[in-house]
Chains A and B, each alone.
Chain A
Amino acid sequence: MLDGAPVPFEPGQTVLQAALAADRYIPHLCYHPEFRPHGSCKLCTASVGGRLVATCTTPAEAGLVVDSETPQLRDVRRTLVQMLFAEGNHFCPSCEKSGNCQLQAQGSDLGVTTAGFRHLYPDRPIDASHPDAWIDFNRCVLCELCVRASDEVDGKHVFALAGRGLTKHLIVNAPSNRLGDTTFAASDEAMQVCPVGAILPKRVGFAVPIGSRRYDQRPVSAQALDDAPRPAGRSP
């Protein structure tokens, strides 16, 4: 049961997966259908059987009562997006990912108009050492999708996390800690998965005009349902 309506599921699915497959949206950021759920952004938090948990990692079970669209949860999610905005340096007008960025899209959908908190303005130099890609750490939301993609799909272990707490940050697998000195290639899955404008291809720039970018047309809540894997025969 999600927000009062029944949702079917298959064994092995998490609550979020089951919901998306059944055309029911729960906000999420660090979850990606192709990778093992991670459970770190907490945007997908919902009340499951009375307890607030991340739905992307909670196994679906018969009889679970899930409440997601409550004012309290909207508040929590809005605050989480605000925290991510305040933690990094997100200046959307000069970001190539703008319009195609999931953090931004979540903000729009949740009605986030300000980071609210004090901006932390961290000092995070960019890495432009690779011929085909660059990393702007200012925009990294630490979702570890690139880490998972490079480990699980590319088999290259290019990315890892270092530090702890607020000093946690992304590093790459080279003594110099420069992307250009790793085995990273533009064709890697890790190149594709970054939900924000942190890992970007070079020489592409602002290719898509404002108005026709991904989230210009449909909000992330609709796009995410289009992308959700579904059992054969069920269509959105």
Chain B
Amino acid sequence: MDASSLSPVLDPILARWGRTPDRLLQVLREAQDATGWLSPELLAATARSLGLPLAHVRGVASFYSFLALEPAGEYRVLLSDGVTDRMDGSLELGERLCRRLWAEPDHTAGDGLVSVRRTSCTGLCDQGPAALVNGIAIPRLDGRVVDAIADLILARRPLDTWPVDLFSIPTNVRREDVLLRHGLSPGVAIAAALARNGAAPAGMIAELRASGLRGRGGAGYPTGNKWASCEAAPGESRYIVCNADEGEPGTFKDRVLLAREADLVFEGMTLAGHAVGATRGLLYLRGEYRYLLDSLEATLARRRAAGLLGATAGGGPAFDVEIHVGAGAYICGEETALLESLEGKRGIPRNRPPYPVTHGYLGRPTVVDNVETLCAAALIAVHGAVAWRRLGTTQSSGTKLLSVAGDCTRRGVYEFPFGVTVREVLEAAGADDPIAVQVGGPSGTLIDCAEFERHLSFEDLPTGGAFTVFGRGRDLFEVARQHVHFFAHESCGFCTPCRVGTSMLASVMDKIHDGHGSRHELAELDRLTSVLGNGAHCGLGHTAMNPVRDTITRFAPSYERRLASADFAPAFDLDAALAPARRMTGRDDPASHLGDAS
């Protein structure tokens, strides 16, 4: 494709987004949607249009796993490779799909029709195994669905003519409490917050502080303090960023909020804008949730028409929201990496200080809050701090949405007051014979049945929302190994300890898996724990060891039975290393083989 044939593709995209470098990622993403992949010509044309060095554009494009720098096929199938997807048989279904399509995994078929690859957990754990086809999610894969997909692809049926029920994604809400039962009509929370601000300067922020609300994205920072710091920071413009990147494997409650409670989310963003003095909001939607974009945009349009966004948003100061879509990078959930990504760059976590509340989006004071946090803030605007504090525990007020998946009969989203025990959740979810629960995803804590009386709360077991159940017969070593590969795949590569360490960690776990592990590997794991925990730049590296740490202490036998008896075993299969030479020489005599050390 030459440059002139590209302008019909690029020009409308550039017109929509504006020709500024901070829109680079959005431009690349849409250009790929239009052409299937990012050709060198397309990258060059984009670089020229945005006034960026080509190397910068290539650097950004190669950072995100959904952006293809090589032809990836007319149909691009990405199979969700979360732990629960695998528990539900995703690997076998993937093989079946490849067989039906005559496709080789991880390769684009010679005729350019299709490619089948794997991708990190897509947040459909309650209805897995899942896949993305050209970026659009298909849940509940089974043999029948896989065969249907293969037939549709082989018949070259355009995606928008596929049967709609393939794409239907129910919200599976299993337990509602104050948040999911809010019953508020659009505009009510904004008005309530404006009234609080009118009654006392920064009244909404004071109410939020009194409510004890803490961030739902995982870190649990007091939301009122965050808003207050942003409000107090010097600067002309401020921003509200809604973190809808929800990348933690096993978490999907934000997806449900975005699908079911979009008004409440935007309500929370708007009243946050009013409280801190921001006129612009940005919602960063993870690429895996691309299929929600149209309905979210429709909600925004409806709210604009109703005067809830725009020059006088809900009767208050101006506020509007823009949605950016990610492109397959877990690290972009980390708030400063997210800001970089919003600015169109590689998602590398920033050095802190300064913090986003003073130097955030485009260097301006910015509040970054999780989807659920913003919904809770809207609720507090209406019902007040006292009502919120009535629920939960002393240091963890209110309720928490849990994404329950794995070995249980009623998977889905549960809203419980903080302080609920693990056992109560397990019973509600119909988990018959659980041996372990991973609370908060791989970067959280994995506990065994001796700990099921523990409480979900910032005091005891903090959680960003994932609650993954493992039943009898599940191999926790394999769970840890899969998660370690997830971290290695998602490491942004900025800092040495995590870039190299997560890969070393994965190869040590592989070595143990292959039966070549020894005490030496256990010592190696200790060394990696220390360097990741002490040296890594951001939370990804700090927590990458957690799945191993928790399984090795609680499920030691799953490691021990894999360890070779020796105190050391080679890093690789020695006999296999002779295979190419055997093949080339045609030898197979005893001397052409290497056994275990005698």
Residues of A within 8 A of B (CB): 37, 39-43, 45, 52, 54, 57, 59, 72-73, 75-76, 79-80, 83-84, 86-87, 117-118, 120, 142, 157-168, 171-175
Specify which chain B residues have a CB less than 8 angstroms from the CB of A54 in the assembled complex.
351, 537
Given that A45-B535, A83-B497, A83-B501 are contacting pairs, would A164 and B53 also be in contact in the complex, using a CB cutoff of 8 Å? no
**A84–B493 CB distance below 8 A:** no
Determine the distance from Cα of A118 to Cα of B535 in the docked complex, in whole angstroms: 20
Determine the distance from Cα of A173 to Cα of B48 in the docked complex, in whole angstroms: 13
**B488–A162 CB distance below 8 A:** no
Least Cβ distance of B287 to chain A in Å?
14
**A39–B537 CB distance below 8 A:** yes
Q: Looking at the complex, which of B19-27, B57-65, B475-483 is the stretch in contact with chain A?
A: B57-65
Q: Which range contains the number of B residues in contact with the other chain?
A: 35 or more
Specify which chain A residues have a CB less than 8 angstroms from the CB of B494 in the assembled complex.
40, 168
Q: Which residue of A lies closest to B331 (CB)?
A: A164
The list of the 5 closest CB pairs from A to B, nearest first, reads: A168-B493, A160-B55, A173-B55, A83-B500, A157-B53
* A interface: dominant SS: mixed
Determine the distance from Cα of A86 to Cα of B500 in the docked complex, in whole angstroms: 9
Given that A79-B530, A83-B496 are contacting pairs, would A59 and B353 also be in contact in the complex, using a CB cutoff of 8 Å? yes
**B496–A174 CB distance below 8 A:** no
Q: Which residue of A lies closest to B524 (CB)?
A: A117
Specify which chain A residues have a CB less than 8 angstroms from the CB of B493 in the assembled complex.
142, 163-168
Specify which chain A residues have a CB less than 8 angstroms from the CB of B171 in the assembled complex.
none
Known: A87-B500, A166-B488, A173-B56. 17 other contacts (CB 8 A): A37-B351, A40-B537, A42-B496, A42-B536, A52-B535, A76-B530, A79-B530, A83-B500, A87-B499, A118-B507, A157-B55, A160-B58, A161-B346, A165-B489, A165-B492, A168-B494, A175-B54
Given that A84-B500, A86-B500 are contacting pairs, would A164 and B55 also be in contact in the complex, using a CB cutoff of 8 Å? no
Q: Mark B337-353, 1 if CB is under 8 A from A, else 0.
A: 00000000010000101
Q: Mark B459-497, 1 if CB is under 8 A from A, else 0.
A: 000000000000000000000000000001111111111
Least Cβ distance of A111 to chain B in Å?
16
* B531 lies within 8 A of chain A by Cβ: yes
**A162–B500 CB distance below 8 A:** no
**B502–A165 CB distance below 8 A:** yes
Cross-interface CB contact of B531 among A59, A80, A158, A162, cutoff 8 Å: A80
Specify which chain A residues have a CB less than 8 angstroms from the CB of B497 in the assembled complex.
42, 76, 79-80, 83
Determine the distance from Cα of A117 to Cα of B511 in the docked complex, in whole angstroms: 13
**B490–A157 CB distance below 8 A:** no
Specify which chain A residues have a CB less than 8 angstroms from the CB of B495 in the assembled complex.
39-42
Least Cβ distance of A112 to chain B in Å?
13
Least Cβ distance of A139 to chain B in Å?
15
Least Cβ distance of A18 to chain B in Å?
16
Determine the distance from Cα of A187 to Cα of B527 in the docked complex, in whole angstroms: 42
**A160–B534 CB distance below 8 A:** no
**B59–A117 CB distance below 8 A:** no
* B40 lies within 8 A of chain A by Cβ: yes
Determine the distance from Cα of A80 to Cα of B499 in the docked complex, in whole angstroms: 11
Specify which chain A residues have a CB less than 8 angstroms from the CB of B59 in the assembled complex.
160-162, 171
* B195 lies within 8 A of chain A by Cβ: no
Least Cβ distance of B163 to chain A in Å?
36
Specify which chain B residues have a CB less than 8 angstroms from the CB of A86 in the assembled complex.
500, 504
Specify which chain B residues have a CB less than 8 angstroms from the CB of A157 in the assembled complex.
53, 55-56
Determine the distance from Cα of A165 to Cα of B120 in the docked complex, in whole angstroms: 14
Specify which chain B residues have a CB less than 8 angstroms from the CB of A167 in the assembled complex.
493
Determine the distance from Cα of A164 to Cα of B62 in the docked complex, in whole angstroms: 7
Identify which of residues 32-66 in chain B touch chain A, using a CB-to-CB cut-off of 8 Å. Answer: 40, 44, 53-56, 58-59, 62-63, 65
Least Cβ distance of A140 to chain B in Å?
12
Determine the distance from Cα of A41 to Cα of B346 in the docked complex, in whole angstroms: 18
Determine the distance from Cα of A75 to Cα of B535 in the docked complex, in whole angstroms: 11
* B556 lies within 8 A of chain A by Cβ: no
Determine the distance from Cα of A42 to Cα of B346 in the docked complex, in whole angstroms: 20
* B329 lies within 8 A of chain A by Cβ: yes
Determine the distance from Cα of A84 to Cα of B534 in the docked complex, in whole angstroms: 17
Specify which chain B residues have a CB less than 8 angstroms from the CB of A158 in the assembled complex.
55
Specify which chain A residues have a CB less than 8 angstroms from the CB of B232 in the assembled complex.
none
**B44–A175 CB distance below 8 A:** yes
Specify which chain B residues have a CB less than 8 angstroms from the CB of A42 in the assembled complex.
495-497, 535-537
